Amino acid sequence: MKLGFIGLGAMGHSMAGHLHGKGLLAVVGNRTLAKARAFAEERGLRAAASAAAFADCDVVMLCVPMDADVLDNVGGLSTVLMPGSVVVDHSTVSVDTARAACERLAAHGIGFLDAPVSGGVEGAKNGKLSVMVGGAADELEKARTALEAYAARITHMGASGAGQATKAVNQVLVAGINQAVCEGLALGEKLGLDPDKLLPTLMSGAAANWFLDKRGATMLRSEFTPGFKCAHLLKDLRIVREMARAVGVNATVIEQSLSDYAELVERGLGDADTSALITLKRRG
Ligand code: NAP
């Protein structure tokens, strides 16, 4: 199997590294080409200056920020990939984007899987991501060996779009957990509690969670290196709000988080980790 990977950011850099570790990766692409060149030169791979560089790939992975980035790349790939090849999108985008990408590629005999991931940069580094897949089961089988390079779990959720629908649910939980942890730790600070005792105590009881474990200590030190950027969670919440409105769900967590992350982005913290939410909680 010959693979390509597009989008060497906080997540994609590590994921592509795992594919290279398995000897599967041939070519990498990235908006800033210098990043792809550096990655490729270090590992003896090719860096893609255009979609044409992926023409001989059986599978191409995407991990890019926005819906438009996915559709742009899919547009380019649809003109160069061979029928029977598969594009796997690990970005978090809307169900509509996933279905549009799938249709566009299907017209050229190319498969598409929406396969967003959860587990954060730590999950990407450790190869322990949860991958939620929408699309045809036979397309998943073509890509499964590659996905296993960085997955702790691969779940086929259903037809095209089902992976992104699952990720939308995931992001509501992420947003709510962020709200609770940031508010709780801001309270702990104001009450003068010792973080070296507070964090392990919380992590040993019913309040334990991934975000507290991975971001608790750093947010108390006001270190907000991503991680997961505020701008990306804001983008996810906008997608999720539309879905919640369409089906009719009380969206209190989504609305509060949208307002908070929009404010953080406005204040210039779009590239900061989502744990920067604690700065709003500290204001009282
Ligand atoms: P990131 O750190 O901002 O990296 C994005 C990468 O994609 C950058 O290297 C960027 O290039 C490249 N890129 C942007 N537009 C592109 C385009 N049109 N064509 C090719 N490359 C392009 O983002 P990330 O945190 O890795 O997240 C990527 C996706 O995964 C997002 O949809 C995000 O919501 C999702 N996600 C993130 C996490 C997380 O914890 N970070 C977890 C799960 C899912 P430049 O070098 O030019 O910036």
* Per-residue pLDDT tens digits for 254-276: 999 999 999 999 999 999 999 99
Residues 203, 151 within the same domain: no
Whether 132 has a pLDDT exceeding 90, the answer reads yes
Q: What is the mean pLDDT of residues 114-129?
A: 98
Q: What is the CATH number of the domain that holds 94?
A: 3.40.50.720
Average pLDDT, the chain: 98
Q: Which atom of ligand 1 is nearest to the CA of 120?
A: 40
Residues 173, 41 within the same domain: no
Give me the pLDDT at residue 284, please. 80
Residues 74, 106 within the same domain: yes
Q: What is the CATH number of the domain that holds 204?
A: 1.10.1040.10
Final residue of a structural domain among 159, 183, 217: 159
Q: Which atom of ligand 1 is nearest to the CA of 35?
A: 46
Residues 101, 55 within the same domain: yes
Catalytic hit among 167, 229, 235, 281:
167
Out of 14, 27, 30, mutate this one to test ligand 1's pocket (max ligand atoms within 8 Å of CB): namely 30
3-state secondary structure the chain: CCEEEECCCCCHHHHHHHHHHCCCEEEEECCCHHHHHHHHHHHCCEECCCHHHHCCCCEEEECCCCHHHHHHHHHHHHCCCCCCCEEEECCCCCHHHHHHHHHHHHCCCCEEEECCEECHHHHHHHCCEEEEEECCHHHHHHHHHHHCCCEEEEEEEECCCHHHHHHHHHHHHHHHHHHHHHHHHHHHHHCCCCHHHHHHHHHCCCCCCHHHHHHHHHHHCCCCCCCCEHHHHHHHHHHHHHHHHHHCCCCHHHHHHHHHHHHHHHHHHCCCEHHHHHHHHCCC
Residues 127, 63 within the same domain: yes
Residues 109, 222 within the same domain: no
Pocket of ligand 1 contains residue 145 by CB under 6 Å: no
**What percent of the chain has pLDDT above 70?**
100
Q: Which atom of ligand 1 is nearest to the CA of 30?
A: 21
Which residue owns the Cα nearest ligand 1 atom 3?
A: 9
Residues 257, 148 within the same domain: no
Residues 135, 254 within the same domain: no
Pocket of ligand 1 contains residue 178 by CB under 6 Å: no
pLDDT tens for each residue of 53-97: 999 999 999 999 999 999 999 999 999 999 999 999 999 999 999
Give me the pLDDT at residue 133, please. 99
pLDDT tens for each residue of 210-254: 999 999 999 999 999 999 999 999 999 999 999 999 999 999 999
Whether 172 has a pLDDT exceeding 90, the answer reads yes
Final residue of a structural domain among 132, 159, 186: 159
Domain that holds residue 39: 3-159
The answer to whether the CB of 241 falls within 8 A of the CB of 254 is yes
Q: Judge whether 35 counts as a catalytic residue.
A: no
d(CA 12, ligand 1 centre) in Å: 7
Pocket of ligand 1 contains residue 121 by CB under 6 Å: yes
Whether 33 has a pLDDT exceeding 90, the answer reads yes
Q: What is the mean pLDDT of residues 95-111?
A: 98
Give me the pLDDT at residue 61, please. 98
Residues 137, 13 within the same domain: yes
Residues 56, 80 within the same domain: yes
Give me the number of domains the chain comprises: 2
Final residue of a structural domain among 159, 175, 196: 159
Residues 228, 207 within the same domain: yes
Beta-strand pair 129-134/117-118: antiparallel
Residues 123, 257 within the same domain: no
Listed residue (9, 14, 43) closest to 26, CA to CA: 43
Give me the pLDDT at residue 8, please. 98
Q: What is the mean pLDDT of residues 106-127?
A: 98
